[in-house]
């Protein structure tokens, strides 16, 4: 069976997490050489072994996605080994305060996710774009949630962070078009499989679940109000969206937000 991304070089920041790991495995199945980063060596090695167990190629490196020099060094090392970079995804997760209304929210707690997520996406693009340009083009992927389009108390920092990530992706499309580099942001609703014990995602959803008198699992098992499809997205669907966005079939797509919100948001 043909492999759509055979011999492509894919970098996934946050590749040891649920979403980043699922996307990395999907690209590896399609023949890409995958370079995953994160801050936990044991989790990174486990993610790389999972890819290799399926016959894929993966290399793992401990890299802080908020460290500008570390990101530049890693991109240069990857490009030197692979001859360039074709696709990059930033799927990091950052622990931050959720569920606290404006009156009780400290400025530092509000600004932490805004700074972290926009910084990481900016640094990803800055690090990989020159190597994509030398390769003749590429695709930069990012991840957001519907938070920026939904009013409601307790999620100010997260909402502004998602709006910022989407704005960065849209604006970079124009700036990088001259180098044949496309940008696509994937806006996904909650993915139940990504919410595991001790995970960043679980802590993000815990305040909302508690406000409804439910466990996180009970909340995610129910169909959220406003969802227009049968169920919340899966990791496989998230990975499939990333594959499509980076494929030749999406060559006319850039500066776009690929909406996996289940109809919670319609733009």
Q: Is 127 helix (H, G, I), strand (E, B) or coil?
A: helix
Helix ranges, the chain (H): 18-29, 41-53, 68-82, 107-135, 156-176, 200-211, 216-221, 235-246
Given a cut of 80, whether residue 6 has pLDDT beyond it is: yes
Q: Kindly tell me if the per-residue pLDDT of 38 is higher than 80.
A: yes
Tens of pLDDT, residue by residue over 234-264, are: 999 999 999 999 999 999 999 999 999 999 8
Contact 28, 57 (CB under 8 A): yes
Residue range 198-221: average pLDDT? Answer: 69
pLDDT bracket for residue 218 (50, 70, 90): confident
Burial class (CB in 10 A: 0-12, 13-18, 19+), 122: middle
The mean per-residue pLDDT over the stretch 21-25 comes to 97
Residue extents of the structural domains in the chain:
9-188+233-257
Pair 146, 261: CB distance under 8 Å: yes
Q: pLDDT-based confidence at 200, cuts 50/70/90?
A: low
**CB-based burial of residue 25 (10 Å sphere; 0-12 exposed, 13-18 middle, 19+ buried)?**
buried
* 9-188+233-257 CATH fold: Rossmann fold (3.40.50)
Split at pLDDT 50, 70, 90, the class of 1 is very low
**pLDDT tens across 100-159, in order?**
889 999 999 999 999 999 999 999 999 999 999 999 999 999 999 998 887 777 789 999
Position 203 scores a pLDDT of 66
- What mean pLDDT, rounded, does the chain reach? 91
Q: Cβ contacts of residue 140 below 8 Å, gap of 6+?
A: 87, 88, 124, 125, 128, 129, 132, 169, 172, 176, 181, 182, 183, 184
* Cα(208)–Cα(213) distance, integer angstroms: 9
Q: Convert the pLDDT of each residue in 65-95 to its tens digit.
A: 999 999 999 999 999 999 999 999 999 988 8
- Mean pLDDT, rounded, for 183-192: 93
So what's the pLDDT on residue 196? Answer: 64
Does the structure show a pLDDT above 60 at 197? no
In the predicted structure, residue 32 carries a pLDDT above the cut 90: yes
**pLDDT score recorded for residue 179:** 98
> In the beta sheet, which residues pair with residue 142?
185
């Amino acid at each position: 069976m043909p492999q759509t991304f055979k011999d492509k070089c894919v970098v996934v920041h946050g590749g040891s997490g649920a979403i980043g790991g699922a996307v990395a495995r999907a690209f590896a199945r399609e023949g890409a050489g995958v370079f995953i980063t994160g801050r936990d060596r044991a989790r990174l090695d486990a993610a790389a072994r999972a890819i290799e167990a399926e016959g894929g190629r993966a290399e793992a490196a401990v890299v802080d996605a908020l460290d500008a020099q570390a990101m530049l060094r890693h991109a240069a090392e990857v490009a030197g080994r692979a001859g360039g970079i074709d696709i990059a995804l930033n799927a990091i997760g950052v622990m931050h305060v959720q569920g606290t209304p404006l009156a009780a929210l400290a400025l530092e707690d509000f600004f932490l996710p805004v700074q972290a997520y926009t910084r990481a996406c900016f640094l990803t693009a800055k690090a990989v774009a020159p190597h994509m340009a030398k390769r003749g083009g590429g695709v930069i992927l990012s991840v957001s949630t519907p938070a920026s389009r939904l009013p409601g108390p307790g999620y100010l920092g997260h909402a502004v962070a998602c709006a910022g990530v989407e704005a960065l992706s849209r604006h970079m499309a124009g700036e990088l078009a001259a180098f044949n580099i496309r940008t696509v942001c994937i806006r996904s609703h909650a993915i139940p499989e990504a919410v595991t014990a001790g995970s960043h995602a679980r802590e993000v959803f815990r305040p909302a679940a508690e406000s409804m008198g439910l466990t996180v699992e009970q909340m995610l098992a129910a169909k959220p109000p406003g969802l227009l499809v049968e169920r919340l997205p899966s990791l496989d669907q998230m990975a499939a969206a990333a594959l499509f966005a980076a494929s030749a079939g999406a060559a006319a797509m850039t500066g776009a937000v690929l909406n996996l919100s289940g109809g919670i948001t319609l733009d």
